[in-house]
Homo-oligomer: A and B are copies of this chain.
Amino acid sequence: MNKLDRRILKTQESLKKAVIELMSEKSFDEITIQDIADRANVNRGTIYLHYQDKYDLLDKLIETHLNELGDMDQWACELDWVDALVPYFEYFEKNYLFFSTMLASKEGKGAPSSFRTRLLASFMEGFKGEIDRESGKNGELSEDVLLQFTGTAYVGVIEWWIRNGMPYPPQAMAKQVGTLLGRSL
């Protein structure tokens, strides 16, 4: 695989970190390109070498996280529910500022399509491959109903956990949520 220049990685990482920090301080609409450049300590013109505009930057930030969550699906499916969910909750914990800020953000004209919506879609996509289609317990259920039910529940409980400052450690959350998901899927 062609190796990416570390300067590019550093610039993009600092921009994404800057935008999330700023979003935890004020609404996305109030943030200027100069704000982001200052916080990231890069030249304002450099942002345009990487992104169309600040909406594109936010979009790519969200995409980065959703991709990493999606990558976890590759090997999580080999495990039982509880073991599979531990790294997810550890990921949410590690990126607490991102998730808490994004979930707290009001859906205005500023931000692209809702973060929560994209998160839900990502989880539903991942759950598709986890449905128990053999034991017969899901035989009379519509797939979309099942996915909407469990996906919404998962997003809801994650949002609750994040918004309440992660009252239980990732392992405990994985155990309980994993058990519940195992019952439903």
A10 within 8 A of B: yes
Nearest chain B CB to A76 CB, angstrom units: 29
Which chain B residues border A43 with CB–CB below 8 Å?
A: 6
One complex includes copies of this chain to the number of 2
Q: How large is the interface on A (under 10, 10 to 19, 20 to 34, 35 or more residues)?
A: under 10
Which chain B residues border A10 with CB–CB below 8 Å?
A: 41
Interface hits, A1-45 → B, CB 8 Å = 6, 10, 41-43
Interface hits, A42-98 → B, CB 8 Å = 42-43
A41–B43 Cα gap in the complex (Å)? 20
Q: Which residue of B lies closest to A6 (CB)?
A: B41
Q: Which residue of B lies closest to A7 (CB)?
A: B7
Which chain B residues border A41 with CB–CB below 8 Å?
A: 6, 10
A43–B6 Cα gap in the complex (Å)? 9
Nearest chain B CB to A157 CB, angstrom units: 36
Nearest chain B CB to A12 CB, angstrom units: 13
A43–B3 Cα gap in the complex (Å)? 14
Which chain B residues border A42 with CB–CB below 8 Å?
A: 6
Interface hits, A104-134 → B, CB 8 Å = none
Closest 4 CB pairs between A and B? A6-B41, A10-B41, A6-B43, A6-B42
User: Can you list 4 A-B contacts with CB-CB less than 8 angstroms, sorted by A residue number?
Assistant: A6-B41, A6-B42, A6-B43, A10-B41
